[in-house]
Structure 1
Amino acid sequence: MHFELGFVLLFSIATAVAIAARYFKFPYTVALVVAGLTLGVVHAFEPPHLTKDLLFAILLPGLIFEAAFHVEFRKFWKNKLAIHALAIPGVVAAVGVTALILSPVVGGLDSVRDFGFIHALVFASVIVSTDPIAVVGLFKALGAPKRLAILVEGESLLNDGTAVVLFTLIVAVAGGAHFTVGGATMDFIRVAGVGALIGGGIGFAISQVIQRVDDAMVEITLTVIAAYGSFVVAEHFHYSGVIATVVAGMLCGNWAASTSMSPSTRVAVESFWEYLAFALNSVVFLLIGLEVQLGSLLASWRPILLAYVAVVAGRAVVVYGVSALLRFTPERMPWSWSAVLTWSGLRGAISMVLVLGLPEGFAHRELLVNMTFGVVVLSIIVQGLTMAPLLRRLGVSGLKDVYQEKYELARGRVGAIHAALTALEALRRTRDIPADVVEQLERDYQQKAAAAEQELSALKQQTNRFHEEEHQEGVRRMLIVEKDALLKAYQRGVIGKEAFEHLVAELDERLAKVKDPEGHVPLEQSSPSLPDAA
Structure 2
Amino acid sequence: METTHALWLLAIPVCALLVAGTARRAGLSAPLVLVIAGLLVSFVPGVPEFELDPEFVLYVFLPPLLFSAAWQSSYYDLRENVLSIGLLSVGLVLFTTFAVGYAAYLLVPGLPLSAACVLGAIVAPPDAVAAVSVAQRLGLPRRVVTVLLGESLFNDATALTAFRVAVIAATGAGFTLADGVLRFLFAAAAGAAVGLLLGPPLHWLRTRLNDPLVENGVAVVAPFAAYLLAETVHASGVIAVVVSGLYLGHRFTESPAVTRLIGHSFWKVMVFLLESVVFLLIGLQLPPVIDGLSGYPWPRLAWWAVAVFGVTVAARFVWVLPASFLPRWLSRRVRERDRDLGWRGRVIVSWAGMRGVVSLAAAFAIPFVTSADRPFPGRDLILFLTFTTVLGTLLVQGLTFPALIRMLRVGSDRERYTDTVAEAGAQHAAANAALERLAELTAREELDESVVTRLRELAEQRQLRAWERLGGGTGPEGEEVPTTTYRRLRREMLAAERGVFIRLRDERRIDDEVLQRVLHELDLEEVALSRD
Pair in the same fold by TM > 0.5: yes
- Partner in structure 2 of residue 312 of structure 1: 313
Residues matched between the structures, number:
452
Partner of 1:384: 398
The equivalent residue for 1:288 is 282
Is the 8 Å Cα contact of residues 431 and 462 (structure 2) preserved in structure 1? no
Aligned residue runs from structure 1 range 393-432, under 5 A: 393-398=407-412, 419=430, 422-423=433-434, 425-426=436-437, 429=440
User: Which of 89, 96, 99 is 1:97 aligned to?
Assistant: 99
Tell me: CA distance 1:133–1:103, structure 2 relative to 1, closer, same or farther (3 Å). same
Per the alignment, in what secondary structure is the counterpart of residue 344 of structure 2? helix
TM superposition shift of 1:372: 0.3
Moved more, 87-96 or 448-457: 448-457
Question: Which residue number in structure 1 is paired with residue 455 of structure 2?
Answer: 441
Q: Which residue of 2 aligns with 1:54?
A: 56
**Alpha-carbon displacement from aligned partner over 1:234-264 (angstroms, at most 9, x marks no partner):** 1122211111101010000012x02x21233
Deviation at 1:140, TM superposition (A): 1.1
Partner of 2:502: none
Query: Which residue identity lines up with residue 277 of structure 2 in the other structure?
Result: V
Q: Does 2:278 align with 1:278?
A: no
Q: What CA distance in whole angstroms lies between the structure 1 residues aligned with 2:346 and 2:470? A: 36
Where do residues 334-373 of structure 1 align in structure 2 (5 Å cutoff)?
Answer: 334-360=342-368, 361-373=375-387
Q: How far 1:52 moved relative to its partner?
A: 1.4
Cα shift at 1:277: 0.9
- Could you tell me how far apart the structure 2 residues matched to 1:180 and 1:295 are? 33
Structure 1 position 179, deviation (Å): 3.2
CA distance in 2, matches of 1:434, 1:272: 42
2:500 corresponds to: none
Partner residue, 2:260: 266
Q: 1:439-518 alignment to 2 at 5 Å?
A: 439-447=453-461, 449=463, 453=467, 456=470
Structure 1 stretch displaced more, 145-154 or 435-444: 435-444
User: For residue 150 of structure 1, what is the aligned residue in structure 2?
Assistant: 146
| 1:175-209 Cα deviation digits (max 9, x unpaired) | 11333333221111111111110111111210111
Q: Deviation at 1:411?
A: 8.5
Aligned residues of 1:427 and 1:433 also touching (Cα < 8 A): no
The answer to whether the Cα contact below 8 Å between 1:69 and 1:250 also exists between their aligned partners in 2 is yes
TM-score, normalised by the number of residues in structure 2: 0.78
Aligned to 1:322: 323
| Contact 1:17 1:28 survives alignment (8 Å) | yes
| 2-structure distance, mates of 1:14, 1:413 | 40
| Greater Cα offset, 266-275 or 427-436 | 427-436
Residues 87 and 156, structure 1, Cα contact 8 Å, conserved in 2:
yes
Counterpart contact for 1:91–1:163, Cα < 8 Å: yes
Q: CA deviation at 1:164?
A: 0.5
Task: Give the equivalent residue in structure 2 for 1:123.
Answer: 119
Distance in 2 (alpha carbons) for counterparts of 1:413 and 1:264: 25
Cα offset, 1:318, TM superposition = 1.7
* Contact map agreement 1:307 1:371 (CA 8 A) in 2: yes
Distance 1:276 1:455 in 2: 32
User: Pairwise CA RMSD of aligned residues?
Assistant: 3.1
**1:67 aligned residue (55, 62, 69):** 69
Q: Is the Cα contact below 8 Å between 2:420 and 2:470 reproduced in 1? A: no
Amino acid at match of 2:58: F
Kept after mapping to 2: 8 A contact 1:95/1:128: yes
Match of 1:13 in 2: 15
| Aligned partner of residue 369 in structure 1, secondary structure | helix
Question: Percent of pairs identical after alignment?
Answer: 29
SS of residue matched to 1:88: helix
Q: Distance in 1 between matches of 2:306 and 2:465?
A: 59
Q: Within 5 A, what are the aligned runs for 1:211-250?
A: 211-250=207-246
Residue of structure 1 in register with 2:81 after alignment: 79
- Residue type matched to 2:57 in 1? L
Q: Distance in 2 between matches of 1:434 and 1:50?
A: 68
Shift of 1:101: 2.8
Q: Would the alpha carbon gap of residues 34 and 95 (structure 1) be closer, same or farther in structure 2, given more than 3 Å must change?
A: same
Identify if the C-alpha distance between structure 1 residues 456 and 155 changes in structure 2 by more than 3 Å, giving closer, same or farther: closer
Q: Deviations over 1:43-67 (max 9, x none)?
A: 4643754211221221110001001
Residues in 2 aligned to 1:410 and 1:170: alpha-carbon distance in whole angstroms: 51
